[in-house]
Amino acid sequence: MKKSTILVASFLIILSNYSFAQIGGSTGYQFLEQPISARIAALGGNVASINDNDVNIGFVNPSLINPGMDNSMALNYINFFTGTNYSSIQYANTFSKAGSFMGTLQYMDYGKIDYADENGNLGGTFGAYDMAITIGWGRQLDSSFSIGAAAKLIYSSYETYHSFGMAVDVAGTYQTKSGITMSLVARNLGMQLTPYYSGASRDPLPFDLQYAISKRLDHVPFRFSIIYDHIEKWDLTYSDPANPSNGFDPITGEPKYKTGFAKFGDQFMRHIIIGSELYIGKNLTLRGGYNYRRRQEMKVDDRMAMVGFSWGFGVRIYKFRINYSRVTYSLAGSPNYFTIAFDLASFMKH
């Protein structure tokens, strides 16, 4: 049976639907933009400046990898749409002179896809997946400032089409005496070393420069988190004739677009991601987040629903920290995120 190149092209287009944060134009390895854990997803974005020894936060912000994560492990699973599953495993260890390190394996499996020829005749199936191996490092320079970096090896396989790439993340975090934590993170600096087929141009990576700030209130069991996403680019809007920024004129039917302050406000808010945590005792945390840009890009005007919102919770049971979250990307569905984390040292007999 002749394999259709049109099928593979169509599949790559389908993959672009999983890029819930496209920034005008396509990039390669868009799975790198997806939140890796339930906690990060519940907070609405992919970077956090919360310094509480969570290895999942250390993954997205390597400047927060620290000795408190020593011997910690986390397992993550995300049930995406149409048979797509995303999983990862992380482990952290600290060396007295070299600093703290963390290894992460990410794997996104797109399931089985039907083969088809040019006439649409089906026969057999093929697989497709993306994966990345990341080694992160962090060091505390003084009581207020820490730095970190992470190197990624990326591999992508869609049927007989394969690609390999490399990227790095770099980050710095400053913590004030009043408990405010601020981080600057540059993610996915790198390149696609080999494209999917001979003669193809190299796809850019989904680079993102982010500023994150968080603060746990002194007299209330509550933490807020704010992310300014994509510092490197101001205008994150895209032109969609079927969904103009200000709707359609009810009389003429002509598209209308925001101008002046409304346009400025819309462009500014597309950078903002808001998250919060409410601590109920020592063993239960409730979380919520709001991503304005996700809502604007994925909404249906007559059925806005909860697109752009996320929520979740975390519980501590015995020696395990279990987190769950649900994110409303669109009316098509809301993926479920599951995380279990634990300290391996706590299981060792002394």
Residues 6+ away with beta carbon under 8 Å from 350 = none
Among the ranges 14-18, 182-186, 238-242, which has the highest mean pLDDT value?
182-186
Q: What is the pLDDT of residue 248?
A: 63
Residue at 123 is within a domain: yes
Confidence of residue 297 (pLDDT cuts 50, 70, 90): confident
Among the ranges 20-24, 220-224, 251-255, 297-301, which has the highest mean pLDDT value?
220-224
For range 235-262, the mean pLDDT:
71
Residue at 333 is within a domain: yes
Res. 13: pLDDT tops 50? no
Give the CATH number of the domain where residue 211 resides: 2.40.160.40
- Give dist(CA 101, CA 149) in Å, integer: 10
Residue at 247 is within a domain: no
Side-chain half-sphere CA neighbours of 111 within 13 A: 12
- Domain containing 292 equals 5-236+271-347
- Give dist(CA 56, CA 276) in Å, integer: 17
Residue at 260 is within a domain: no
Side-chain half-sphere CA neighbours of 283 within 13 A: 5
How many structural domains compose the chain?
1
Residue at 241 is within a domain: no
Res. 114: pLDDT tops 70? yes
User: Encoding tokens for residue 322?
Assistant: 């279990």
Confidence of residue 241 (pLDDT cuts 50, 70, 90): low
Residue at 257 is within a domain: no
Confidence of residue 115 (pLDDT cuts 50, 70, 90): confident
> Percent of the chain scored above 90 by pLDDT?
64
pTM, two decimal places: 0.85
Residue at 249 is within a domain: no
For range 108-137, the mean pLDDT:
86
